[in-house]
Structures are given as structure tokens and as C-alpha cells.
């Protein structure tokens, strides 16, 4: 599809912020639609986003690979059901190269400020670049600002210490005493990959997690050859996984659903594979399965039962040069300490400064909590669009599917600007408030509000995510509602 031409049509200059999964997607689709003046500013020294920053041992996506792929660029050569991080990064690099995205990316150019003046966005980057554009697409990601724990003495540790998203590959792990703080998906993946080579492995658990036992099967060369030879079969694999994942998404939004009961039963049966009763009870969560983001692993409980592995549930008192001392007085001696303590999930485009109409500062607008109409746009910030922005389906759908659907919606608004006569479009306050009120009400029925603390919850204890079905998401995002937007 190309941008429609008319007497009032105009060429738009578009900037995409971020060259990860969503930024690559946005750039490809903009160029396909006929927008040739597109530049991508990327803060890192390479494209890839999450898959550039996270390189820890065992890293993989917890969405099946054939679903975690662009619909327009299926990959017949995925090695596993859940393929490893380097393979995913290579996939995005290949797609970016094949579709000409790489040549449009300005690396090492962190956008520090966007200000809307005289009908255009004025951009300043860390490299000193000044730019003026008509449209901004913020593809800045969700989980990319590491969260560090507030632990007394952390700086005094004599060994190597680093966040999981800043892995130091120069540090040897073979035969080392390794400690990992955290029990989310990242920590579980690290555990499966590192525990076997460590002399002693200590997992510091604040909160037990429910673990879904999903096998990570390897695709044979014969299977991959079939995918290469039969594109329709490859697309069918994508569609089958989308349907299955949709079932999971439908389960978590209704805490009393049959699907949710099935998920809980599978997690409970998995827990029962822990032979030692005392260990099993320390691994048993005190909340319902799915309340936190469900952890997927084929071998976590098996690994936790190995003789060189210890589960530490006593609270951390402080860190000292020799290791981590817990409240029970025990010093857990360590050579390496890994902080698998997550990310600031509510940062979104921040700390980048975004100044909209009449000097309106997005940081002030989000001082209480982030909010956006359908997670893609904010009143008072014309022609500024986000992919995977606040309160979107970050926890229950494939983020690539979400990004494709959201960008198709955004593209319709951008094409309207190109067609004219309007030069600016942004959602109304009434539309955003009505959507937010309905979202908050619907979220009360989800599994996420059944009694746990998680990064899904905002300051009110409301899940900051999409609380309806995937079918409804597709329906709502199919076409922008003209009454929800104001133009100029």
C-alpha cells in the first residue's frame, strides 16, 4: 500500500526512536506505505533492542519462536520451540538488513528531547544532532531500564557483580560460586544454564514462582526443510500457535475461567515433581498461578534438586566482600553475584524529555502513572505515537503481534496526515479517560488482581495491561475511531 496522493498530499518526515523489534517493524511498514523520509535514532551501538542488551546464559523468548516472528518475514530455520537469544537477535538483524532498515539507523544517537513547536517535533540527540520532523514513532521498548536492588554493602562485594541485562562475559563461571538474586523468568533461565557448571549455585528467592512445564523441543533438519519448501505450512504453524496463545490470553483475563484452572493444575503437578518435601514447600507460591507473569521452564525444578544448588529463602541482610549474608546469620560465600532483579516497567519513553503542545511535559502528565489512549497516543502530544506504550497487552499476547496490530492502526493516522488537510492529530482527553475507566473496570476480573505483587500492577494495584480478549484487541485496533481524535 502506498500513501495516497491528492492535491493536498504532502511528504512527511518521520523519525522512529529505537531499532529493536518494534522500530524495525515501524520502519519497514512506513517505507512500504510510501514514506521515504524515515530516520531511526538508536541509543545503542547496534540494532536489536532487548536481544542486544540481554545476553545472559540461557536467554530465550517465552513466546514460541514461530509466533515471535514478523508475519511478513516467517523464519523456517528456528532451532527450537523457544529459540535462544542470539538466534532471535540474528533474525532481527537479518530482517533489518533485507528490508533496508539498517541504512536508515543512526547508532549511538539517544534521543534526549522531543519538543513540539510550530507544528513539528524538534529533536535533540546525545550525539548533538538537531532534527525537525512531522511524526515521531516511539519504539522504545518496555523492559530496558534495569532495576537494581537497594542492598546494603552491594558495592563492597569483592567478586564480580552485574545485572542480568549487563552480563559480563569476561567473568568465568566454571567452578565458581555463583549467586543469583531473583526468581523471575530471567533468573530461571540463568539457573538452567549456569547451575551445572558452577561449583556452588545459590538462588536467592524473595517470592516463589509458579512454573509452567513446557518442553523446549528442537526442530529437526527435516522439519526445517519442510518449512522452507512449504511456506503455507510455515504460516500455518504461526497461526496454530497464535490460536493456542490466544487461549492463554483468554484464560488470564478471567480468574475463574476453565483455562485458568487448567493452567493452575499443570503448575501444581509440576511442583509435585520436587521430591524433597521441605524444598517443595519453600518453592510453593502463596498466590494463584498466573497472578505474576507465568514462568516457563522445562527443567527448573530438576535443576533446583541438584546437590550443588541451594535455594535461599531467608531475607538478605546485606552484601559483604565475601558474599551475601542473610537475616538468619548465614554468609553465602560467592565469587559471582548476578542481579536478576528486573526492569523499570513503567518508564516507557522516559527519561527522554517529551514536550507537547503549550509546553506540556509528558513527565508531568505521567507523574502519577503512565497512561495513553489504546496505549499508542496521548492527548496534547500531536503526531507522537508509541508502540507497546502504557497499559497495552504486554503480559498476555505475543509482543510482535501486538506491535504489528498497533502500528497498522498508527499508520492509518499517519496516512491521514499525508493526505491532508490536517497537519496534526492526537486523541481527546475524553476518549482516553473513557478507555481507561473501562480498562480499570475490566481488569478487576483478571488473575493479576488475585493477591500478589507484580510489575504488572500500577500504584493503585491495577494491572497496567490489556484486560480483554485478543479478538477484542484486533477489533478495536482495526480502524481509528474519528470521534476519539482531534485534528488541526
Query: Is the per-residue pLDDT at 6 higher than 90?
Result: no
pLDDT of res. 384: 98
Instruction: Name the band, by pLDDT with cuts 50, 70 and 90, for residue 420.
Output: confident
Distance CA 87, CA 204 (A): 29
* 3-class DSSP state of 316: strand
Whether pLDDT at 476 is above 60: yes
Is the pLDDT score of 397 beyond 80? Answer: no
| 8 Å CB contact between 478 and 388 | no
Q: Which residues, in sequence order, are CB contacts of 243 under 8 Å at separation 6+?
A: none
> Tell me, what's the pLDDT at 297?
95
The CA-CA-CA angle for residues 282, 278, 189, to 5°, reads 45
Per-residue pLDDT of 301-315, as tens digits, reads: 999 999 999 999 999
Q: What percent of the chain has pLDDT over 70?
A: 98
Of 181, 193, 400, 378, nearest in space to 388 by CA: 400
User: Distance from CA of residue 425 to its chain's centroid?
Assistant: 27
Pair 341, 182: CB distance under 8 Å: yes
| Numbered ranges of CATH 3.50.50.60 in the chain | 14-145+344-487, 154-217+228-339
Q: Give the CA-trace dihedral at 344, 349, 350, 352, to 10 degrees.
A: 150
Residue 4, pLDDT > 70, answer no
Confidence label for 2 from pLDDT (cuts 50, 70 and 90):
very low
Confidence of residue 455 (pLDDT cuts 50, 70, 90): confident
Residue-wise pLDDT for 335-373, tens only, equals: 999 999 999 888 889 899 999 999 999 999 999 999 999
Predicted pLDDT at 9: 66
Is pLDDT at 439 greater than 90 in this prediction?
yes
Average pLDDT estimate for 87-110: 98
Give the separation between CA 212 and CA 223, rounded to whole angstroms: 26
Per-residue pLDDT at 1: 33
Residue 90: partners with Cβ closer than 8 Å, 6 or more residues away: none
Q: Superfamily for 154-217+228-339?
A: FAD/NAD(P)-binding domain (3.50.50.60)
Q: Are strands 316-320 and 323-326 parallel, antiparallel or unpaired?
A: antiparallel
Per-residue pLDDT at 280: 98
What average pLDDT does this structure show over 176-197? 97
Instruction: Indicate if the pLDDT at residue 396 is higher than 80.
Output: no
What is the rounded distance in angstroms from the CA atom of residue 218 to the CA atom of residue 60? 13
Residue 37's pLDDT band (cuts 50, 70, 90): very high
pLDDT at 460 over 50: yes
**Which runs of E-coded beta strand occur in 217-335?**
295-296, 309-312, 316-320, 323-326, 331-333
Cα 5 from Cα 127, distance rounded (Å):
36
Q: What is the mean pLDDT of residues 59-86?
A: 95
Q: What per-residue confidence (pLDDT) applies to 8?
A: 46
14-145+344-487: CATH architecture: 3-Layer(bba) Sandwich (3.50)
Q: Which pLDDT score, from 0 to 100, does residue 10 have?
A: 82
Residue with cell 517443595: 280
Mean pLDDT of 459-467: 92
Stated as kind and residue range, the H or E segment containing 201 is: strand 200-204
Amino acid at each position: 500500500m502506498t500513501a495516497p496522493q491528492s492535491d493536498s498530499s504532502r511528504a512527511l518526515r518521520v523519525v522512529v526512536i529505537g531499532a529493536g523489534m518494534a522500530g524495525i517493524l515501524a520502519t519497514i511498514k512506513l517505507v512500504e506505505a510510501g514514506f521515504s523520509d524515515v530516520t531511526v535514532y538508536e541509543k545503542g551501538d547496534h540494532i536489536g533492542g532487548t536481544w542486544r542488551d540481554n545476553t545472559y546464559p540461557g536467554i530465550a523468548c517465552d513466546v514460541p519462536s514461530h509466533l515471535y516472528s514478523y508475519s511478513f518475514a516467517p523464519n523456517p530455520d528456528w532451532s527450537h520451540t523457544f529459540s535462544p537469544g542470539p538466534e532471535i537477535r540474528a533474525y532481527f538483524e537479518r530482517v533489518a538488513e533485507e528490508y533496508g532498515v539498517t541504512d536508515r539507523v543512526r547508532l549511538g544517537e539517544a534521543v534526549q528531547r522531543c519538543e513540539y513547536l510550530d507544528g513539528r517535533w524538534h529533536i535533540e540527540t546525545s550525539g548533538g544532532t538537531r532534527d525537525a520532523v512531522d511524526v515521531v514513532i516511539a519504539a522504545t521498548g518496555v523492559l530496558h531500564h534495569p532495576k537494581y536492588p537497594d542492598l546494603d554493602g552491594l558495592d563492597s562485594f569483592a567478586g564480580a557483580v552485574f545485572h542480568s541485562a549487563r552480563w559480563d562475559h569476561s567473568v568465568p563461571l566454571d567452578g565458581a560460586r555463583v549467586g543469583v538474586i531473583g526468581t523471575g523468568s530471567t533468573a530461571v533461565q540463568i539457573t538452567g544454564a549456569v547451575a551445572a557448571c558452577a561449583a556452588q549455585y545459590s538462588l536467592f528467592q524473595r517470592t516463589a514462582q509458579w512454573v509452567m512445564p513446557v518442553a523446549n523441543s528442537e526442530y529437526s533438519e527435516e522439519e526445517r526443510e519442510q518449512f522452507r519448501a512449504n511456506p503455507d505450512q510455515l504460516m500455518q504453524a504461526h497461526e496454530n500457535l497464535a490460536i493456542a496463545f490466544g487461549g492463554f490470553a483468554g484464560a488470564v483475563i478471567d480468574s475463574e475461567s476453565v483455562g485458568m484452572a487448567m493452567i493452575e493444575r499443570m503448575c501444581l503437578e509440576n511442583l509435585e515433581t520436587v521430591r524433597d518435601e521441605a524444598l517443595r514447600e519453600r518453592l510453593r507460591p502463596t498466590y494463584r498461578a498466573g497472578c505474576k507473569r507465568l514462568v516457563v521452564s522445562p527443567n527448573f525444578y530438576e535443576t533446583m534438586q541438584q546437590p550443588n544448588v541451594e535455594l535461599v529463602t531467608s531475607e538478605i541482610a546485606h552484601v559483604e566482600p565475601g558474599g551475601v549474608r542473610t537475616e538468619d546469620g548465614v554468609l553465602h560465600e560467592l565469587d559471582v553475584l548476578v542481579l536478576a532483579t528486573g526492569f523499570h516497567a513503567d518508564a516507557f519513553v522516559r527519561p527522554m524529555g517529551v514536550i507537547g503542545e503549550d509546553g506540556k511535559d509528558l513527565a508531568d502528565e505521567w507523574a502519577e502513572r503512565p497512561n495513553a489512549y489504546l496505549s499508542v497516543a496521548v492527548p496534547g502530544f500531536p503526531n507522537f505515537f508509541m508502540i507497546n506504550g502504557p497499559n497495552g497487552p504486554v503480559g498476555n499476547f505475543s509482543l510482535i503481534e501486538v506491535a504489528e496490530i498497533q502500528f497498522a492502526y498508527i499508520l492509518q493516522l499517519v496516512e491521514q496526515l499525508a493526505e491532508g488537510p490536517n497537519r496534526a492529530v492526537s486523541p481527546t482527553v475524553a476518549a482516553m479517560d473513557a478507555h481507561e475507566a473501562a480498562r480499570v473496570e475490566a481488569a478487576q476480573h483478571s488473575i493479576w488482581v488475585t493477591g500478589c505483587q507484580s510489575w504488572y500492577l500500577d500504584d493503585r494495584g491495577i494491572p497496567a495491561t490489556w484486560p480483554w480478549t485478543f479478538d477484542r484487541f484486533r477489533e478495536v485496533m482495526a480502524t481509528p475511531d474519528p470521534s476519539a481524535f482531534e485534528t488541526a
